[in-house]
Amino acid sequence: MMIPLVRKSLTCLFFENSSFLRQSHASLSHYFSTKTENQTVDARKVSDFLLHKHHFSPEAASQVASVLTRLKNPEKSDSVLSFLKESGFSGTQVEKVVKYRPEFLSANLETIIKPKIKVFQDFGFSADEIAEIVSKEPLVLHCSMKNRLIPSLAVLKGLLGSNVEVAKVLKTSGWFLVIDLEKTLVPNVEFLKSCGISIEQIIRLMPIFPRFFLHKPKIMRKFVEKADEMGVDRSSGMFIYAVRVVSSMNKETWELKMKIFQNLGFSEDDILRVFRSAPMVFSVSEKKIKQIIEVLLENGKYDMSCIISNPTSLMYSVENRYKPRLQVLEALEKRNLLKNWPGFGTMHIMSDKKFFEKFVAPYLDEVGKIYTAKSVQKRR
């Protein structure tokens, strides 16, 4: 008698629990569904706020709303955006700042954002310069004023000498304001100067290769040692470029680049000679190198020895320099208007203005359309 009773009890319990589980599942589904719907509504409110009140682009508003699904304090967000605009930020620059870190919409204007902007103002930067620097690296609004922002600006001003030069560097990379310059930039500059590199060259290259100067000093010394091993003369104006190229490649990348040149017909001596005289050639992609060589050798007027003797030729544009020039010279030759082809060194290094004056202007009726068409493509 007990067994049927137990079975009946278990059966009842099973169905009762099943009913409970179904109810629980339904409740959870309803909870999550409601939560998702609420989040969607909140995100739409964020997007509408940015679109209609502050004229963000639909793409930017959607991107911010996908990360920041709710504005805890719309008034605070409104104050932040209005302040940036009043401080000289364009609509596009404001979008950049907010897209980079949507949390800025909830930041405390008085304690977080205003003081950072004031630091730049106190250093003498114009409203336009501040807007461009901050929108380039919005993280500066989040870094410590005392430990990073003020000391970094002081170091840069002392090294570069003017706000114009400092702004030029910061517009290319805001990393100079978020990294400890006393442990990176300052010792690197002193070391490079001790290698014979002038401060003028360093200042000129900082906006072009900003992160190069921010390596750890111990690593920078290894880069210099490698350039020395390659036989680059420290008194050469190319030495710092050689060091910079070394810094951009690990052992595997370096070996791959060597193989590329060897496959194209360069001997090891040729490769070393190229590196010593034009190290930046090693930054050119394999695809571009092959395209340039193919175009330059195609009509038989120049050979590989011309390229090896003029390695900087591998750094120019196929579409904007070589094709239009070669087409003009070929057209002149067909019309018996070209007695001798210009030497390779002259052809590849001549400025656009001089090339036009010598080979296009005197024969505008014959080749003007060819060169003009390419010039229009270049401007586009």
Question: Could you tell me the mean pLDDT of each successive run of 10 residues in the chain, 380 residues long?
Answer: 46 48 48 42 73 86 79 85 94 92 88 94 94 91 91 94 90 89 96 96 93 96 95 94 94 88 87 91 90 93 90 92 93 91 92 92 85 51
Residues 266 and 293 placed together within one structural domain of the fold: no
Question: What is each CA distance from 223 to 237, 248, 256, 257, 276, in whole angstroms?
Answer: 16, 10, 18, 17, 15
Q: Which of 236, 255, 283 is the last residue of a domain?
A: 283
Residues 277 and 293 placed together within one structural domain of the fold: no
Which pLDDT belongs to residue 32? 38
Q: Is 350 exposed, middle or buried (0-12, 13-18, 19+ CB in 10 A)?
A: middle
Per the structure, the count of domains in the chain is: 2
Question: What is each CA distance from 306 to 41, 136, 309, in whole angstroms?
Answer: 67, 42, 5
Residues 275 and 211 placed together within one structural domain of the fold: yes
Task: Report the Cα 22 to chain-centroid distance in Å.
Answer: 55
Residues 301 and 318 placed together within one structural domain of the fold: yes
Cα 311 to Cα 118: distance, rounded to the nearest angstrom: 49
Whether 301 maps to a domain, the answer reads: yes
Whether 298 maps to a domain, the answer reads: yes
Angle at 227 between CA 223 and CA 233, to 5 degrees: 140
Cα 106 to Cα 94: distance, rounded to the nearest angstrom: 14
Which pLDDT belongs to residue 355? 92
Whether 188 maps to a domain, the answer reads: yes
Task: Give the 3-state secondary structure of residue 158.
Answer: helix
Residues 365 and 276 placed together within one structural domain of the fold: no
Residues 305 and 215 placed together within one structural domain of the fold: no
Residues 236 and 313 placed together within one structural domain of the fold: no
Whether 203 maps to a domain, the answer reads: yes
The residue type of 41 is: V
Q: Is 353 exposed, middle or buried (0-12, 13-18, 19+ CB in 10 A)?
A: exposed
**Residue 333: CB atoms within 10 Å:** 15
Q: Which of 283, 303, 326 is the last residue of a domain?
A: 283
Contact 368, 360 (CB under 8 A): yes
Whether 28 maps to a domain, the answer reads: no
Residues 264 and 204 placed together within one structural domain of the fold: yes
Residues 357 and 269 placed together within one structural domain of the fold: no
Whether 165 maps to a domain, the answer reads: no
Q: Is 169 exposed, middle or buried (0-12, 13-18, 19+ CB in 10 A)?
A: buried
Residues 336 and 259 placed together within one structural domain of the fold: no
**Residue 147: CB atoms within 10 Å:** 10
Residue-wise DSSP of 291-314: HHHHHHHTTSSS-HHHHHH-GGGG
Whether 171 maps to a domain, the answer reads: no
Which pLDDT belongs to residue 22? 53
Among candidates 213, 236, 239, which has minimal Cα distance to 227?
239
Q: Is 106 exposed, middle or buried (0-12, 13-18, 19+ CB in 10 A)?
A: middle
Residues 276 and 302 placed together within one structural domain of the fold: no
Cα 102 to Cα 94: distance, rounded to the nearest angstrom: 11
Residues 254 and 278 placed together within one structural domain of the fold: yes
Whether 196 maps to a domain, the answer reads: yes
Tokens 């922002």 appear where? 149
Q: Which of 265, 283, 301 is the last residue of a domain?
A: 283
Contact 290, 266 (CB under 8 A): no
Residues 6+ apart with CB under 8 A from 31: none
Range of the domain at 301: 289-376
**Residue 185: its H or E element:** helix 185-194
